A and B are shown apart, each in its own frame.
Chain A
Amino acid sequence: MRAMGKSRVLFGVFGALVVVSAASAGGASTPGVTSKQILIGGTTPLSGPASAYAAVAKGADAYFKYVNDHGGVFGRSIKYKYEDDAYDPSQTIQRTRDLVQNEKVFAIYNTLGTEQNLAVRSYLNQLKVPQLLVASGASTWGNDFKKYPWTIGYQPSYKGEATIYGRYIAKTRPNARIGVLYQNDDYGKELVAGLQRGLGQKAKLIVSKQGYDVTDTDVKSQIARLKSKKANTLMVFATPKFAIQSYSSARLLGWRPLVFVNAVSSASNTMTIAALASSKRQTEGSISIAFNKDPVNPRWKGDKAVTLFRTILKKYNGGQGLTDVYNVYGMSSAFTLVDALKHAGKNPTRASVMRAVTHLDERNNPFVLPGIVIRTTPTDHFPIAQARLERYHNGNWVYFGSIVHIG
């Protein structure tokens, strides 16, 4: 066991230095790669409070199965073992260790959650196991690549997203009185920091910030507080449940601010519930950003990628999740991984796949909005750094403005 571990480590270093010779020598000795299959793994909340996000893994898995039925990658099929961590970081550690040490996966991929990925980042980097396309918007995945070179994120960072809102408000609503509702943890605080950065000199437009805890029953008190500060613009930096409550609580107070709702909660499904729980007038005019195609949005009726998305889910996921944008996210992430594996060479190694994901220039991912290029360089580790602003109108999201860069 010990000897094997050592040779694996040596191999990683060697591979990083001489990619070509490593690739030719690779094959047999790269964990998880055989002549027929590439085994990857990750964790996802199949049960527990965050299990709505399981679609992220299921969408990706369905896409891999589709790719496998169409020849795989260089003749190898991709097997994606996603295991349940119930959104509990201590379980993420257990499952990930098992995947790496017993299942001998090639890489950890698409593990969901900020805390969950932080919990295994040091471990994976010590062993030089790639931690690919982390499903979390924390900016640390892109910022701290020097310290953790085996880790890379995927989606736009929360901080970058809120920066966009800040800039937009500074430019278009100089008289705004901004009230912020945020989840009282790293995720919410990162959005608040991004908003302040985007507002720049206009940061004093923020009249009140109210936090809530994930364990709170409701956000009535916070919304009432923001209203009493005479805010006319409401930032909702909250997960779907609390975002919906923000709308319904504001309605009960007879308060109709302009709402900016973070991408985590702006899926069409969530907005439909928000409109039911409050009123159509209450959700009208809300602003958010999008980077994936929302399958419910009539804008994408007849779109090739959305049609493909439905076909794949019907065939490989029992027809589940046809209206769920999280499935689209999973497929776009899987598309990028397949793209990277193709660029990692005929005999991929852990080093060569890291090289590939840090040299992405993907213009043809059909599951993201047209015009978005998924690009990385050795010094820019944010794969999706573009999005479009959108406004909720008559029960649908309508894109406006050109593509914005999320820095």
Chain B
Amino acid sequence: MLVGVDWAGVAQQVVAGLSSGGTYATLAVALVLIYRATGVVNFAQGELAMFSTFVAWTLTRHGFAYWPAFLVTVLASFAGGIALERAVIRPVERASVLTIAIVTIGLFFIVNGAAFWIWSPEVKSMPNAFSTRPIRIGGVAFAISDLGIIGVSLLAVLLLWLFFRFTKLGLAMRAAALNPESSRLTGIRVSWTIALGWGLATALGAVAGLMAAPPLGSFDQNFMQPILLYAFAGAVLGGIDSALGAVIGSLALGVFLNLLGTYVSWVGTDLRQAAALAVILGVLLVRPAGLFGKLAVRRV
């Protein structure tokens, strides 16, 4: 190949990056959701998504088609998320953010271990949600599934925005997160709005897992861990309290990492994850609120 830039190659890497970024995006939105509802970053978010994915996988093994399994799993995850919050987070609800974060780290290991215990460790495969037939436009190949995944994460953002903006419950949840004490005084059951936040985030995590797993071709109990790291980076880049920012941040991150890994030879594959961490660090240093977030102002 000559020195000239191979534009089709670059475009293909951008498409591959958007498609990877799409799988980070939905999980990133789930992270944002819990953060907004409770002010905590949920380290177990990826493992909960993995667990939901395995539930759906089990359903598809018992004759469910993809979409019915999807629906059942998302509803079950919503209920599971609420139950989990009641059982595990409730007892430490008023403890410091650090305590709750550490509880979620514990949850990470428990959920991962449980999944290994319940399901055998061999790699699994899921039917695809969307058609994977390759489509070519100007030398760049992509599949309907790539668009579908990005579409689903944008749809999730839209629904959440509508929920928070136009429903009483959404308003109550925003209020409870912003100022728990005053909210209690106005009659909002803060403890339950937190549980609801967990339910929504766990359901969204299920969506993320179910979008991410099929196009990977194969997945195991650890498949969400790198995705969680990239979702964190994406969410921080977009602004940890902005859902739309999380989606845009994740897509940008996917493209950025692919181009970096492909065309900057010393980064290669070794430093892709390090680059994701560098993004987190860089954003926190230069623009802590991220691209779309609002800087938190706290009264002392």
Closest chain A residue, CB of each to CB of B19: A220
Q: From residue A261, how far is it (CB to closest CB) to chain B in Å?
A: 13
- Tell me if B42 is interfacial: C-beta within 8 Å of chain A: no
Are A273's CB and B218's CB within 8 A? yes
* Docked complex: A234-252 residues within 8 A CB-CB of B: 240-241, 244-245, 247-249, 251-252
A52 touches B122 (CB 8 A): yes
CB neighbours (8 Å) of A273 from chain B are: 123-125, 217-218
Beta-carbon contact of A245 and B116 below 8 Å = no
Check: B143 CB closer than 8 A to any chain A CB: yes
Which residues on the A side are within 8 Å of B17 (C-beta)? Answer: 221
Measured in the bound complex, the distance between the Cα atoms of B273 and A251 in whole Å is 26
Measured in the bound complex, the distance between the Cα atoms of B36 and A379 in whole Å is: 67
Partner of B123, one of A54, A240, A247, A252: A240
- The answer to whether A216 and B226 touch across the interface, beta carbons within 8 angstroms, is yes
User: Are B216 and A245 in contact (CB-based, < 8 A)?
Assistant: yes
Sort chain A's interface into a size bin. 35 or more
Check if A203 is an interface residue, CB within 8 A of chain B. no
Complex Cα distance, B99 from A137, in Å, reads 45
Q: Which residues of A contact B122 (CB under 8 A)?
A: 52, 269
Q: When the two chains form their complex, are residues B13 and A278 in contact, meaning their CB atoms are under 8 A apart?
A: no
Q: How many residues of B contact A (CB 8 A)?
A: 47
Q: How far is the CB of B274 from chain A (nearest CB, A)?
A: 10
CB neighbours (8 Å) of A48 from chain B are 116
B269 touches A212 (CB 8 A): yes
A253→B12 contact, CB < 8 A: yes
Q: Is the CB of B272 within 8 A of A248?
A: no
A222 interface residue, CB < 8 Å from B? yes
- Within 8 Å by CB of B269, from A210, A228, A254, lies A210
Asked whether A244 lies within 8 Å of B19 as measured between CB atoms, the reply is no
Task: State whether A52 and B6 are in contact (beta carbons under 8 Å apart), knowing that A247-B217, A252-B143 are contacts in the complex.
Answer: no
B181-223 with Cβ < 8 A to chain A: 215-220, 222-223
- CB–CB B269/A225 < 8 A: no
**Which of the residues B6, B142, B218, B261 comes within 8 Å of A221, measured between beta carbons?**
B261
Decide yes or no whether B258 CB sits under 8 A from chain A.
yes
* B8 CB-CB contact with A under 8 Å: yes
Q: Which of A47, A251, A277 contacts B218 (CB 8 A)?
A: A277
Residue of B13, B20, B123, B225 near A244 (CB, 8 A) is: B123
B20 contacts A220, C-beta separation under 8 Å: yes
Is A25 in the interface zone, CB < 8 Å from B?
no
The 10 closest A-B pairs by CB, nearest first: A248-B217, A277-B217, A254-B134, A51-B121, A244-B218, A228-B9, A220-B16, A244-B217, A273-B125, A217-B226
